[in-house]
Chain A
Amino acid sequence: MRHRHGFATFAFVALSCLRPTEERVERDLAVGQAEQAGVSVNVQDGLAVVRSLTPDELVLWGSAPGFELSLSGPSARDLNIEVQNCLPDADLRVKSGDAQLSAADSTDVPTRKRWQLHVGSGVVRLALSAPGAAGTQPFRFALLSDIQEAIIRVADIYDLLNAQPDVSFVLGAGDLTSHGTRDQLERFQAELLRLKIPYFATLGNHELGTHPDLFHDYFGRGNFHFRFHGVAFTLLDDGSASLDPTVYDWLDGWLTEARRDVHIVAMHIPPIDPIGVRNGSWASRDEAAKLLARLAEGRVDLTLYGHIHSYYSFTNAGITAFISGGGGAIPERFDHIGRHFMVFDVDAKKGVTAQSVVRVDPGD
């Protein structure tokens, strides 16, 4: 009997792990760094993935509207730079170093832009940004999550997003795919070509289905922070129903930095499910309260979640919260919501001034 109980204990201890996100945090730290044939690239804060680096070409996938990167190499060279998933009016400029930059032939895709860089030896710093991005003008963004197997009919959602006036970008709170396979990530990327604005996303639990390591290769960090028009955005990887302890350290820094600013935090799984008996929330309610206390202390203005395939409006720790999982994955029945996305109006001086739900299938 003792042996059987010992085995049972071992089995369920082995089944669980205390830091399932630890490896993904390490991958976060590696995003945006690459070296090839003596040329090295370092994207500040990992806000873009190095998709390709050859002696002649650098291809990046942006996770944020703007970012800085440094290039260094032993000798002068010409380098074609393509940034994918960027704002249509984004521009690249040289911040420092011996380099000349010129626009290259445009692509047919509004979110993909090319430049030609002649760079000397030494370190060159470049910055990607859209006009006015450093200002505080009001802007709009959309939230779309939980597409999963509905990728086959996501085109009409993108068409509806394209028809929304003045939306700068789409924020994704995870579950872009059903299992995170390479084919599914490729398909998601291919479908995005239809969208005329960039899609900045963190991952969800469904990206962890078969290849938890692939999301970072395609779409970048799970935990990152950026600013746009004076508003702070933080996206967190809680796809394992928890945050890694290291991420709390990062979060503390981001909260401190944005304490006086409008701050929007998005993640996939809501720490507390409004329908608590469902437990579409974190593994530990204590950890959920720990996070919410920090967000409240950091004076976060808005929290955005996915995971639950419906729409909920509520507050957590006094912070306005929305669950919007309307990308098309198996919907919560009888909620009369169906596929949808949200649009937010944000003003760096006033906060979130308006939000609306855009239903894709109004007949549902």
Chain B
Amino acid sequence: MRRFTALFGLALSLQSSLVAAVVEPKPETEPTPEPTAPPAPAPAAARSRVLPTAAAVVPGLVLHGSGQLALGENTTAKNLILMEGAGLGLFLTGGLTVVFTGASRYFVAPAATFAIAGFGLFSTSYLVDIYGSAATDQGAVPSHLRAVARWETEVGYRRIQDPEFAYRDFLVERVSRQLGPLRLNPSGWFSLRGDTARYRLESQYRLLGNIDEPRPRDVSFLDVTLGFVHQRHSPEHFTKSSAELSLDARYDLARLGPTLRGAFVELGAGYAIGRIDYNLQGLTVPHDIEHLLLGRVGFGVALRGQSAPGSDVLVYYDHRHDDYVAGLKLTGIPSGIAGHFGLLARWFFSESVGVALDAQAGSAYLAGASLLFRAPSRPAPHEAAP
């Protein structure tokens, strides 16, 4: 019941579910594992994972949670089925509202947000079932979780293939600094040809979730993000500047069942307003104002094995159309509506050094890698004890 409440909250309001999850104490008599206490998945892990994984993949296409049912994790399966249903419900509610209102200006923003969130919950419930059915090392997850670094820097290379623009090669730099609940992320993307650059200043304020605990047992959070972007395209004679505000959340899926430990879902929604300035010699051209619905859903997994804590991989959908990768171009009717998909993997070799792999597909293809440097985390109390 406790997990059902959390899932219901996730579907309707991630914030409220997070509040409930963080504030409400767990009854000691609750038979399901505490999210703050790593479960012992040994009995499930001892069983063969072939059948559950196959069940998660094939019948799981229709009934998300089939893998968990095959594994005997009935409560987890029920939660995933509910998650699938909530996702489908949100997607249909949003999608049908868009269709039947003719994408009315008065309804399209909330309807599209519902559709994106629904797509995220629906697809994640499928992926996480496969994960929970195939993975056997969930017990190693707690030792591979880590608080956000007090500071982190990134320098890397990205290759962008976009037939509409001549740029290809980019130097990417980012600095991240945690100041209490506030995180500042200035970053820059610089075309090596010098024809375009993108500067972004992002600040995130953590409303809910861990900041200080060096070895968190739950990676859920809720952030409010304020961002400013400036982008110039010299050969095409325009610059863009925008401001954006969004709510971004991560939900630790261990809350739905012990076999899902190490997986998480991300949801974000917001709004951006931008200004396009045209820089044409000898012409005075009025600027344009553009508006943007922000929406992001992702499914991630904390990496284990040889990786240092804080390593993870995330596949995501990002609805934004104003960056280098923008929206999917398709051959049929729906071209241009959807945003882009991406994969971001962060692998730390040690407490301080790691790499990030970045791949995105939208109106352009992007691939690249970065070197990551971060401040070592403070040792957890039990690690610091002599």
Which residues from chain A sit less than 8 Å from chain B, CB to CB? 1, 4-5, 8-9, 12-13, 15-20, 179, 205-206, 208-209, 212, 239-243, 245, 248, 269, 272, 275-287, 289-290, 292-293, 296-297, 308-310, 315-318, 330-335
Contact = CB atoms under 8 A, between A and B. Distances in A.
B335 to A, nearest CB: 4
Contacts of A277: 108-109, 112, 271, 291-293
Contacts of B61: none
Contacts of B112: 277-279
Interface string B347-372: 00000000000010111110000000
Nearest to B325: A284
B285 interface: yes
Interface stretch (B84-92, B144-152, B162-170, B210-218): B162-170
Given A209-B332, A278-B112, A284-B164, A332 B105 contact: yes
B363 A18 contact: yes
Nearest to A332: B102
7 contacts: A19-B329, A242-B335, A269-B336, A272-B288, A276-B292, A278-B103, A279-B337
A171 to B, nearest CB: 22
Interface in B330-348: 330-337, 340-341, 343, 345
Identify whether the interface residues of A are mostly helix, strand, loop, or mixed.
loop
A122 to B, nearest CB: 42
Contact of B233 (A18, A290, A335): A290
Given A8-B315, A286-B322, A334-B106, 12 more contacts: A1-B131, A1-B301, A9-B343, A18-B163, A241-B337, A245-B163, A282-B327, A286-B240, A287-B326, A289-B240, A290-B233, A332-B103
B321 A285 contact: yes
Nearest to B278: A293
B283 interface: yes
B326 A285 contact: yes
B365 to A, nearest CB: 7
B303 to A, nearest CB: 9
B236 A290 contact: yes
B280 interface: yes
Contacts of B329: 16-20, 240-242, 283
A116 B247 CA distance: 71
A149 to B, nearest CB: 13
B362 A283 contact: yes
Nearest to A312: B105
Interface of B: 99-106, 108-109, 112, 130-131, 134-135, 161-165, 231, 233, 236-238, 240, 271, 274, 276, 278, 280, 283, 285-286, 288, 290-293, 301, 313, 315, 321-322, 324, 326-337, 340-341, 343, 345, 359, 361-365
B101 to A, nearest CB: 4
Contacts of B104: 332-335
B271 A293 contact: no
Contacts of A310: 102
Contacts of B341: 12, 15
Contacts of B274: 285
A289 B106 CA distance: 25
A293 B365 contact: no
Contacts of A316: 288
Given A208-B333, A309-B102, A279 B280 contact: no
A277 B104 CA distance: 11
Contacts of A212: 331-332
Nearest to A2: B313
B361 A16 contact: yes
Nearest to A278: B108
A277 B272 CA distance: 9
Contacts of B335: 20, 205, 208, 239-242, 283
Q: Nearest 8 pairs between A and B by C-beta?
A: A241-B336, A276-B291, A284-B326, A283-B327, A277-B293, A12-B341, A332-B102, A283-B336
Contacts of B109: 277-278
A4 B365 CA distance: 20
B336 A318 contact: no
Contact of B324 (A209, A286, A296, A315): A286
Contacts of B313: 1, 5
B163 A284 contact: no
Contacts of B332: 205, 208-209, 212
B251 to A, nearest CB: 20
Nearest to B131: A1
A269 B327 CA distance: 14
Contact of A242 (B105, B164, B345, B359): B164
Contacts of A280: 103
Nearest to B279: A293
Most buried by B among A239, A278, A309: A278
Contact of A289 (B134, B236, B345, B361): B236
B130 A18 contact: no
A9 B342 CA distance: 8
A287 B240 CA distance: 12
A161 B60 CA distance: 54
Given A284-B321, A330-B102, A318 B238 contact: no
Given A242-B336, A317-B288, A333-B102, A285 B330 contact: no
A293 B237 contact: yes
Contact of B333 (A206, A272, A278, A282): A206
Nearest to A24: B331
A260 to B, nearest CB: 14
